Amino acid sequence: MSKWFLGLLLTFLLVVVTACGGESASKTQEGSSANEGSENVVSGGDERSGWPDKFIFGLLPTEDQAELAKRYDPLIEYLEEYLGMDVELYNVANYTALIEAMANGHIHGSTFGPFSYLLAHERANGEAFAIPIRQEGGTLDDIFYYAQMITLEEHGVNSLEDIKGNSLAYADPASASGHLFPKAMLINELGLTMDNVDDFPSDVIFSGSHEASLYSVLNGDVKTAGVCSTCIERVFDRVKDHKNFDQLKVFHESAPIPGGPYVIQGDLPQSFKDKVKQAFLDMKDHEQGKKFLEENDYLGGYAEVGHEVYNVVQETAEALGLSPEDLLN
């Protein structure tokens, strides 16, 4: 009787263990499949996957830094709302530092001049994505500006030839309108070369910015300077009371130059890059965005732009025999 009962008990336990084991294995397999599916949904469906914690935007001090920060406050507020993240400005001293900051991941986006953009594209995988339009209802045809040579009437400088023996200020070594195009004008129109172009004036200095070059001329520190047409127009309200302002004149102007683009680091997630681009393209339709556009005279908002627009700048650099090292030094 006890043997029969013991055998029956063992059989019953075997059936229970087998059933429980099968059920446990089934649950484990189902659970694993569910987890895998959940991971795929989170990874593939999260549009913000891989986004930075905050958007860091680099700025070059083309004018007084306090004024620059004031102008960019509305942009920060707009982008923070549009992107749903903190936005921080990152100030640097020159284009070289700006490019290095992007290459090293310290900034995610910035504005560049046409030549410095070529370097950012080559060295930091920078991608041009937008460009400001100054005319309401404007198109890409309105993005061009000029390199201008300026002086005071009292110096009697009326042409490029008259720069000979007079002092000349450039803005930044990698500035298109503040250095490279003015230098190209001297080479192409006067028959100078890269070997002797800097010996043509009596003295050559780099002021650090277009506004600084303008003040250098107004204050009599130099007799001539190469500047960006739109850059100095933007600061006229601050310098129009200068005692020498009425003597200021443009004595030579370059061919049209495409404006500097807004650039984003190309290694960032595509969804993030697309969102940032769309933020700039949509800016004119948002109240806070309009404040920034109006403050900066970008009445047409932003237009989408690609690398191909800057082929003419690349060709100019090649014509001048300028390597990336030349542009940075």
Tell whether the model's pLDDT for residue 266 goes beyond 60: yes
Q: Per residue in 219-258, pLDDT tens? A: 999 999 999 998 888 888 889 999 999 999 999 999 888 8
Check if the beta carbon of residue 137 is closer than 8 Å to that of residue 284. Answer: no
More confident residue, 22 or 262: 262
More confident residue, 151 or 257: 151
Backbone angles phi, psi at 93, to 5 degrees: -85, -30
Q: Which of 282, 274, 268, 263 is nearest to 81 (CA)?
A: 282
User: Looking at domain 144-258, which of 3.40.190.10, 2.60.120.200, 3.40.50.300, 3.40.50.150 is its CATH number?
Assistant: 3.40.190.10
Q: Quick one: average pLDDT of 78-92?
A: 95
Domain spanning 54-142+259-328 has what CATH number? 3.40.190.10
Which pLDDT band, with edges at 50, 70 and 90, does 74 fall under? Answer: very high
Tell whether the model's pLDDT for residue 38 goes beyond 80: no
Tell me the chain's radius of gyration from C-alpha atoms: 30
Tell whether the model's pLDDT for residue 170 goes beyond 70: yes
Element holding 137 (H helix, E strand) = none
Which pLDDT band, with edges at 50, 70 and 90, does 328 fall under? Answer: low
More confident residue, 303 or 318: 303
62-66, 136-140, 306-310: which range is least confident on average?
Answer: 62-66
- Predicted TM-score (pTM) of the model is 0.63
Helices 287-295 and 65-83, packing angle to 10 deg: 160
Mean of pLDDT over the chain: 84
Other C-beta atoms within 10 Å of 15: how many? 10
Q: What is the pLDDT of residue 329?
A: 58
Which residue intervals of the chain bear CATH 3.40.190.10? 54-142+259-328, 144-258
**In whole angstroms, what is the distance from residue 201 CA to residue 60 CA?**
27
